[in-house]
Amino acid sequence: MAREERRVKVSMQDVIKTFDSRNGEVVALNGINLDIMENEFIAVVGPSGCGKSTLLNIIAGLEKPTSGQVLCDGKHIEGTGQERGVVFQQYALFPWLTVKGNVEFACKIQSKQKSKAEIEQLALKYIKMVDLEDFINHYPKELSGGMKQRVAIARAYAANPSVLLMDEPFGALDAQTRTQLQEELLETWDKEKKTCFFITHDVDEAIVLGQKVMIMSARPGRIKEIVDVNIPYPRNQETKISQDFMDIKNHIWSQVYKEYLAVRK
Ligand code: ADP
């Protein structure tokens, strides 16, 4: 899969984020400079509390930086926007809507002009994409964790964002479901050409998915290193036994481990 990097999609310049807490000011991010290119897949790893979610929430427009600039398509991010879709670890589905209803809801956001039939057709496309056409009329409570996360992914895609922000979306799933969803995500990323920013605590997952793996340092969060993953796509579980994979994994893991030790001090 040859992927040509075109233009800067998201740009962060000198981003600092502090929070007031009971124990005083917490510096969550301390000087983030990052360009995410259009259609790029960046996976983010780092010790717990190093500011990964804060960074994602700032790009999503759910948090405002204390200082610095954040741009998407050259425009300042002022809040949430349809071009930026978010998938969290907890699938925030509407429990009173079926799979179809949940995905249609997002399709309506994408286009207010579309007829009921067009919305249905579009929703079906994304439901098929995540392999849930047999469960179209099921409610969230009737689905497994993996299925609910599939609906959340279908719903995120249905709103047709150009940037997909994913915060440990597979973190709560069993190993087999996680593997399946990783492969589906890569297929869809290839077909739909999105920019992906994907947080994980799993170094293997980061390398299987990302063109780049961004390692964050222990608090206050900074970018420690961005590692190019020069392993061709399509990638799958067999990728994990290649020497290239092992070499990259050893390097990333040693860097992340240093940061874990810094947190424990
Ligand atoms: P990560 O996703 O890497 O685990 P977070 O971005 O969630 O890290 O948090 C970074 C730091 O900012 C942590 O120390 C966390 O406790 C703090 N933090 C995050 N959100 C808030 C908040 N709303 N209020 C106070 N502190 C916060």
Cβ–ligand 1 distance for 48 under 6 Å, the answer: yes
Q: What is d(CA 174, CA 202) in angstroms, rounded to the nearest whole number?
A: 13
What value does the mean pLDDT take over residues 33-52? 96
CA of 48 to the centre of ligand 1 (A): 9
What value does the mean pLDDT take over residues 176-194? 87
CA of 26 to the centre of ligand 1 (A): 8
pLDDT of residue 264: 76
Band of pLDDT at residue 242, cut at 50, 70 and 90? very high
Instruction: Looking at the CA of residue 216, tell me the nearest atom of ligand 1.
Output: 3
pLDDT of residue 2: 52
Mutate to test the pocket of ligand 1, among 20, 26, 223 (most ligand atoms within 8 A of CB): 26
Cβ–ligand 1 distance for 53 under 6 Å, the answer: yes
Whether the predicted pLDDT of 23 surpasses 90: no
Q: What is d(CA 170, CA 188) in angstroms, rounded to the nearest whole number?
A: 16
Which element (helix H / strand E) includes 198? strand 195-199
pTM score, whole prediction: 0.92
CA of 139 to the centre of ligand 1 (A): 33
Please give the structure tokens belonging to residue 198: 């994907």
Burial of 231 (0-12, 13-18, 19+ CB in 10 A): middle
Over residues 194-235, the pLDDT tens digits come to 999 999 999 999 999 999 999 999 988 999 999 999 999 999
Cβ–ligand 1 distance for 17 under 6 Å, the answer: no
**Spatial CB neighbours of 250, under 8 Å, sequence gap ≥ 6:** none
Output DSSP code: residue 221. Answer: B
Instruction: Looking at the CA of residue 29, tell me the nearest atom of ligand 1.
Output: 10
What value does the mean pLDDT take over residues 175-181? 87
What value does the mean pLDDT take over residues 234-238? 88
